[in-house]
Amino acid sequence: MTTRVAIVGTSAVPVGRIQAAPDAPLQVLEQEIMTRLVVDAVQDAGVERRDIQSLVFTLPRPYTLQKYFHTFLVSHLRLACTGNVMEVMGNGMTAALAFDQACNEIALGRAKVALALGVNMESAIPASEHAMSSMRTTGDVDFHSSVGFTPIAWYAMDAMRYMHEYGATREQLAAVAVKNRYHASLNPLAQYRKPTTIDEVLAARPIVEPLGLFDVPGRSDGAACIVLASEEVARSLGKPYAIVRGRGFCHDGSHQINEIPNDMIELASARRASADAYAQAGITAEDVDLAEIYAPCTIIEVLVSEALGLFGRGQGAPAALAGETRLGGRIPLSTSGGLTSRGHPAYVTSLYSYVEMADQLFGRAGERQVADARLGVTTGELGNYNAALIHVLEAVR
């Protein structure tokens, strides 16, 4: 169980609206998308087909056409595996858990090469149907769901509390949206690539006070595949790879919103999980070069940046307005464009974070490249960061 694990290849489709309407004469088949991605990712990695012994899929949305998707695709690819072939689910953390479990397959010696992969289809489903499902998934059906308490409402409460505690402004939160849109404009995988301004963000229609249209993610489809390998295999490929240096997880024992009085904007699970990940990696927050943050709203990017120790309490929002989190700034955050601009195909969102981090650490991010990027952090969450999964990745070139 001491085998180190590396990302050696990736592939993803641009985030957007891919799903066909239920009554469309031609349907988009998930297996056709994923088959191409697996082939592309394996070619990118340069690994041998026979070494792929484990595949960990994200659980597809209930709207997915092909059920029992993981075993169907393995059959479609004609892969015979002696490790594990499975689907995992953890709501917003689903893709991060798939990555984590694929790492375990290699660390436990069950596979030399493992894939973390999945597809998320939801954009053609009526908003009302999707909202009802989301509320029943993320809230307590006894009192949250019955009053229409949506995830964005939680984040809006976080924003109001943060503004009250630290005097943060809407302009500071808007700077996060502007920065993410700029980063997305440089990312061919991003859904929303048109640059915007603080004035445009502030003038956009409100969603839940104080959050507006640019502060929250839209509906998205997406699919991605990450190729993981033992460090021995990674070294043999003769190309850059990214080692998983540290991992931390924490669940605070609540369901999305804690009914016990607490510091609602501390994001204690992310603080504890990142501390454990740093300790395992033998680093501190000051060593981190960039972070790809799971942040469904602008306020959450601010709060997570503080929980990760990249900024002090109350300093994340002013830092965003000052340009410290932008490409070229002190600590670039969400260089992919983040959930608000790269897009948020929820059950595979974190796979896109690993794609971005691999591109950065391989040195192939193009105009988004963070100079001399060596240590990066990715985050995943269950809901309002009641649980967090953090990975520290290191470039090996």
Question: pLDDT tens digits, the chain, 397 residues: what are they?
Answer: 578 999 999 999 999 998 888 888 888 889 999 999 999 999 999 999 999 999 999 998 877 778 888 999 999 999 999 999 999 999 899 999 999 999 999 999 999 999 999 999 988 676 766 666 766 677 777 766 666 667 888 899 999 999 999 999 999 999 999 999 999 999 999 999 999 999 999 999 999 999 999 999 998 999 999 999 999 999 999 999 999 999 999 999 988 777 788 899 999 999 999 999 999 999 999 999 999 999 999 999 999 999 999 999 999 999 999 999 999 999 999 999 999 999 999 999 999 999 999 999 999 999 999 999 999 999 999 888 999 999 999 999 8
**For residue 132, what pLDDT is reported?**
65
Helix extents (H) in the chain:
30-45, 69-77, 94-107, 127-138, 151-166, 170-185, 198-203, 231-236, 268-281, 298-307, 316-321, 338-341, 349-362
HSE at residue 196, side-chain half, CA atoms within 13 A, is 24
4-18 burial, b at 16+ Cβ within 10 Å, e below that, comes to ebbbbbbbbbbbbeb
Q: Taking the model in full, what pTM does it have?
A: 0.95
**For residue 262, what pLDDT is reported?**
87
Cα–Cα distance for residue pair 266/286, rounded to 1 Å: 19
Asked whether 162 and 317 are in contact (CB, 8 A), the reply is yes
For domain 5-125+220-236, the question of CATH label 3.40.30.10 is answered with no
Please name the residues in contact with 60: beta carbons below 8 A apart, sequence gap of 6 or more: 30, 66, 69, 87, 118, 119, 120, 121, 347
Cα–Cα distance for residue pair 379/294, rounded to 1 Å: 6
Asked whether 222 and 120 are in contact (CB, 8 A), the reply is yes
Asked whether 138 and 383 are in contact (CB, 8 A), the reply is yes
**For residue 220, what pLDDT is reported?**
94
pLDDT tens track for 244-266: 999 999 999 988 777 788 899 99
Tokens for 82, please give them: 């002696």
Q: Where are the domains of the chain?
A: 5-125+220-236
pLDDT tens track for 83-109: 999 999 998 999 999 999 999 999 999
Angle between helices 94-107 and 349-362 (to 10 degrees): 60
Cα–Cα distance for residue pair 346/380, rounded to 1 Å: 11
Cα–Cα distance for residue pair 167/133, rounded to 1 Å: 35
- Give how far the C-alpha of residue 261 lies from the chain's centroid of Cα atoms, to the nearest Å: 28
**For residue 140, what pLDDT is reported?**
73
For the chain, how many residues are written? Answer: 397
How many Cβ atoms are within 10 Å of 206's Cβ, its own excluded?
11
* Cis ω for the linkage preceding 210 (within 30 of 0): yes
Cα–Cα distance for residue pair 169/178, rounded to 1 Å: 15
Judged by DSSP in three states, 344 sits in coil
Asked whether 382 and 202 are in contact (CB, 8 A), the reply is no
Cα–Cα distance for residue pair 301/176, rounded to 1 Å: 8
**For residue 146, what pLDDT is reported?**
66
Tokens for 378, please give them: 């990715």
